Amino acid sequence: MRENVPLASMTTLKLGGPARRLVEIETEADALAAVVDCAREKLLVLGGGSNVVIADEGFEGTVLHMATRGIDVAREARSDGRVLVTAQAGEPWDDFVSEMVARNLSGIECLAGIPGLVGAVPMQNVGAYGQDVAETIERVRTWDRDLGRVVTFSNADCHFAYRSSVFRGRDRHVILDVTFALHAVHVDGASRPLHYAELTRALGIGEGQSAPLSRVREIVIELRRKKGMVVDPHDPDTRSAGSFFTNPILDAPALDALRTRIDPLLMPTYPVADGRTKVSAAWLIEHAGFKKGWGRGPVAISRKHALALTNRGGATTHELLALAREVRDGVHSRFGVLLEHEPVLVGVALEHVYQPSRAN
Ligand code: EPU
């Protein structure tokens, strides 16, 4: 346990002040001892620090820095052909994906190259290239700080939705391990059917077709790298928290309203299962006038992807959030669509107060 520990270096944005206390967690016993010890305090579980924005003032509570390791693969597949695999919360996610691909277990290969730890993926139902973890998570074992005991969530109990779950934005449950149900495929076997156009194009296959797991993993990493979404210490475009905003999901009246403000043929849209429509936040940002690379001093939109806000060096959280507000308000003013932030904000807020402007 250490006190007054700077957190910036533990985040991919390289932002944030000190934690009052920080506990390194290497075993589940460490985790349980720490959560009991700080039962009444504010708690922040920090994994890879890739999806948090921490206040410049830091965090007035205890940070658990998770480093629990271990992967347990069931010896036999279930009758539905799926194999249960349990990973400790502190396993690095991308290493876990690589290992599953190497073992010919399919279901998370499109999620290669994503920073962070296994324990963080249920939080915001991590997703990319047409897969999200809600499709393969079987259960999540947690410590429930209110009940003071271990509580296991089934997939349904997690209430997964687009970039969200029952765990998001709360510090009640500390995730201890996650069990996935992955599809066993033959040696050098095929991925799940792929539907993300950019990915199938890069693989040279048709929509709904499959490709070898290892190839899917490689191409996904290549695509992510081109967008600055693979952390590289030498590339300031990757000093971000990934997508800063989620893609808005609009009902029919909201979509119609948006279409009156823009040439609907130009705007990329994606149907969602419930009949609503997802629109691209990155596209809205660019068409509201915030081009890639646009910025203010040490904070800027990534030069590789309009959805990532970056610290170009020496920035503060205050400056990053000012940029986020400017982008959000600019998009709202131009299109009437309010972007929601995606990373977890710690000790700071992007107030939902919008100053009406000329466009309205
Ligand atoms: N686009 C732009 N400008 C850009 C980038 C994209 O206009 O700078 C438009 C393009 O029309 C493109 C569309 O936006 O076709 C979608 O872009 P992309 O495929 O990059 O996906 P995204 O919606 O921006 C989401 C996830 C990413 C994930 C990718 C790939 C969210 C919030 N983001 O991004 O996840 O990697 O899809 O599946 O859902 C993350 O969550 O942190 C993240 C990186």
C-beta 132 within 6 A of ligand 1:
no
Q: Which atom of ligand 1 is nearest to the CA of 130?
A: 38
* Partners of 152 in the β-ladder: 141
Q: What is the pLDDT along the chain (360 residues), one digit of tens a residue?
A: 899 999 999 999 999 999 999 999 999 999 999 998 888 899 999 999 999 999 999 999 999 999 999 999 999 999 999 999 999 999 999 999 999 999 999 999 999 999 999 999 999 999 999 999 999 999 999 999 999 999 999 999 999 999 999 999 889 999 999 999 999 997 667 898 999 999 999 999 999 999 999 999 999 999 999 999 999 999 999 999 999 999 999 999 999 999 999 888 889 999 998 999 999 999 999 999 999 999 999 999 999 999 999 999 999 999 999 999 999 999 999 999 999 999 999 999 998 655 555 443
* Ligand 1 centroid from CA 280, angstroms: 7
Nearest protein Cα to ligand 1, atom 9 = 283
Q: Which atom of ligand 1 is nearest to the CA of 306?
A: 8
Look up 57 and say whether it is catalytic: no
Nearest protein Cα to ligand 1, atom 27 = 128
C-beta 305 within 6 A of ligand 1:
yes
Look up 50 and say whether it is catalytic: no
Catalytic residue chosen out of the listed positions 217, 243, 303, 328:
243
* Ligand 1 centroid from CA 305, angstroms: 8
C-beta 128 within 6 A of ligand 1:
yes
Q: Which atom of ligand 1 is nearest to the CA of 242?
A: 42
Look up 164 and say whether it is catalytic: no
Task: Label residue 206 left, alpha or beta by phi (over 0 means left) and psi (-120 to 50 means alpha).
Answer: beta
Q: How far apart are CA 95 and CA 37, in angstroms?
A: 31
Catalytic residue chosen out of the listed positions 82, 141, 163, 217:
163
C-beta 112 within 6 A of ligand 1:
no
* Ligand 1 centroid from CA 236, angstroms: 19
* Ligand 1 centroid from CA 30, angstroms: 38
C-beta 244 within 6 A of ligand 1:
no
